[in-house]
Amino acid sequence: MSEAYDVVVIGSGPAGYVCAIKCAQLGLQTAIVESWTDGKGKPVFGGTCLNVGCIPSKALLDSSHKFAEARDHFGDHGIGIKSQSIDVSSMLARKNKIVSQLTGGVSSLLQHNGVTVVQGRGQLKAGRSVAVTDESGAVKELSATNVVLASGSEPINIPPAPVDNDVIVDSTGALEFDEVPERLGVIGAGVIGLELGSVWGRLGAEVVLFEALDSFLPMMDAQVSKEAAKVFKKQGLDIKLGARVVKTEVKKGGVTVTYSEKGEEVTAEFDRLIVAVGRKPRTQDLFTEDSGVTMDERGFVFVNDSCVTEAPGVWAIGDIVRGPMLAHKGSEEGVMVAERIHGKPVQLNYDCVPSIIYTHPEIAAVGKTEQELKAEGVDYKAGSFPFAAIGRALASGETDGFVKIIADAKTDRVLGAHAIGPAAADLVQQMVITMEFGGSAEDLQLMVFGHPTMSEAVHEAALAVDNMAIHMPNRKKR
């Protein structure tokens, strides 16, 4: 006989565990199914984000940034350090401690909120029945009024560079290098490639990134992408655009990479190679054909704007559905689904989901880019302001980059915001709030911003939208 619940959630990443907790808070009898274990049969919560993604990578980014600061910039402050060294094992131990603390915290939260944990691999069957197979092969049947699919994503592998988890690694393996490679190759100059390349580049590796596309960060505003390319080049990252890797050969002590560039094949030698060409939804064997759930040719589950699948009472959230693979997007989808299951018709505003690249400087964006608005024929106005003219940025030695705001030319409503520079993620979050409430550039112009703060760049960019910036010369009016 199966165990019955109001809600069964498959997957305990940021989308799944948030959804389960919210469902339980709303009084729904909730179970969460997780297949990841610690090797002792105990479930490990948090999914890719907490275990091998967002959190561990940010821990290493922070450690490597502090090392680079001490090496390259402490002298500017009159702080003398005769020599610097990095203890990679200690750095990794710190990362692992942070991961353990957060995943353990999720476990406690699930328990505190009364969510039943079921260890094993969950598969949705017809009639909202969920079969859970544990590590021993034993199967437990669960039934639910509602089932939420939240199985997350996994790295994409490519035939020219088969991952061996030794010399050629994916994004997970790149978090576990036991020493700094002298020469590091990275296939993919997107978010993951840039972040991982930055970590090891700061620690002394010579980093080369191979990007098959001819454009750099095409999903970002073109002005931001141009600035980012300039900054990363200055940091020593060698980003090769239009460079498609066609073959790799692992040899003793390294790997030879053959790539196509401008119609010619070129080879390069590396100690390690990271494959960071993106991620794919983890939907294989997630549901049976008679479950009623369907997906596209890439493995993404079909859902509507409210994350409802084509099967009654079945929902899907996070990385396995349309839209960017972002932990915060998945989490808020989890909240939305929980509320809708409980009867409250809330809706997530997908136009206000920010995207962030945690390099240094940070890159962040929300809403439309200039190139998107031009393609759509929207009449807009834009203003930007450099951190080089912000007192707090100068005092901190963080002068690269700018904040840019785009507003509708007729209504003045903010349509998009983009930033590269110190605290870019937090500054763009201010714009998320502005856009969520339908705010205008004038609203920001009339607000009081503390001084001296990085946020003043937001204020001045809003003023620049109407050619009224105070702390820089404005464009001449026509």
| CATH number of 379's domain | 3.30.390.30
**Which helix (H) or strand (E) segment is 20 a member of?**
helix 14-25
Residue 474: inside a domain, yes or no? no
Tell me if the pTM is above 0.85.
Answer: yes
Tokens 């031009």 label which residue?
374
From CA 273, how far away is CA 291, in angstroms rounded?
40
Final residue before a domain boundary, out of 317, 348, 379: 348
Domain check: are 343 and 359 in the same one? Answer: no
- Do 328 and 374 have their domain in common? no
Helix (H) or strand (E) holding 267: strand 264-270
pLDDT computed for residue 443 by the predictor: 98
Shared domain for 146 and 292, answered yes or no, is yes
Contact 354, 429 (CB under 8 A): yes
Give dist(CA 203, CA 271) in Å, integer: 15
Instruction: Enter the DSSP assignment of 115.
Output: P
What range defines the domain where residue 227 resides? 168-277
Give the residues across from 123 on adjacent strands: 131
Residue with the two structure tokens 């493995």: 299
429 contact partners, CB below 8 Å, separation of at least 6: 354, 364
Which helix (DSSP H) or strand (DSSP E) does residue 202 occupy?
A: helix 191-202
Q: Is residue 344 part of a domain?
A: yes
In a domain, 363, yes or no: yes
Q: Write the single-letter amino acid at 95.
A: K
Cis omega (within 30 of 0) for bond into 14: no
* pLDDT tens-digit profile, the chain (478 residues): 689 999 999 999 999 999 999 999 999 999 999 999 988 888 999 999 999 999 999 999 999 999 999 999 999 999 999 889 999 999 999 999 999 999 999 999 999 999 999 999 999 999 999 999 999 999 999 999 999 999 999 999 999 999 999 999 999 999 999 999 999 999 999 999 999 999 999 999 999 999 999 999 999 999 999 999 999 999 999 999 999 999 999 998 899 999 999 999 999 999 999 999 999 999 999 999 999 999 999 999 999 999 999 999 999 999 999 999 999 999 999 999 999 999 999 999 999 999 999 999 999 999 999 999 999 999 999 999 999 999 999 999 999 999 999 999 999 999 999 999 999 999 999 999 999 999 999 999 999 999 999 999 999 999 999 999 999 999 875 4
Residue 58 shares a structural domain with residue 93: yes
- Asked whether residue 163 is assigned to any structural domain, the reply reads no
Domain boundary among 251, 277, 303: 277
Question: Both 358 and 461 in a single domain?
Answer: yes
Q: What b/e string do you get for 340-377 counting C-beta neighbours within 10 Å, with b at 16 or more?
A: bbbeeeeebeeebbbbbbbbbbbbbbbbbbbebbeeee
Q: 50: closest CA among 196, 193, 152?
A: 152
Q: Do 148 and 51 reside in the same domain of the chain?
A: yes
Measured CA to CA, the distance from residue 192 to residue 197 in angstroms comes to 8
Question: In the chain, how many domains are there?
Answer: 3
Concerning whether 73 is annotated as a catalytic residue, the answer is no
Asked whether residue 117 falls in the same domain as residue 141, the answer is: yes
CATH number at residue 268: 3.50.50.60
Residue type, 186: V
> Which of 68, 47, 174 minimizes the C-alpha distance to 397?
68
Q: Which of 77, 451, 459, 471 is catalytic?
A: 451
Looking at residue 298, its pLDDT comes to 96
Residues 291 and 358 in one domain: no
Is residue 161, in this structure, part of any structural domain at all? no
**What's the confidence (pLDDT) of residue 75?**
95
Q: Which of 261, 277, 293 is the last residue of a domain?
A: 277
Whether residue 162 is contained in a domain is answered as no
Are residue 133 and residue 268 in the same domain, yes or no?
no
Asked if the structure places residue 422 within a domain, the reply is: yes
Residue 354 to residue 44: CA distance in whole angstroms: 28
Q: How many helices (H) and strands (E) does the chain have?
A: 12, 22
Strands (E), 238-387: 238-241, 243-251, 254-261, 264-270, 272-275, 279-281, 314-316, 355-357, 362-367, 380-386
Res 82: pLDDT: 86
Residues 6+ apart with CB under 8 A from 93: none
Query: Is residue 19 a contact partner of residue 30, using CB atoms and an 8 Å limit?
Result: no
Based on the domain organization, do 228 and 368 belong to the same domain? no
Residues 334 and 363 in one domain: no
Closest CA to 151 of 337, 315, 354: 315
Quick check: is 476 in a domain? Answer: no
461 with 386, same domain: the answer is yes
Helix axes of 54-72 and 191-202: crossing angle, nearest 10 degrees: 40
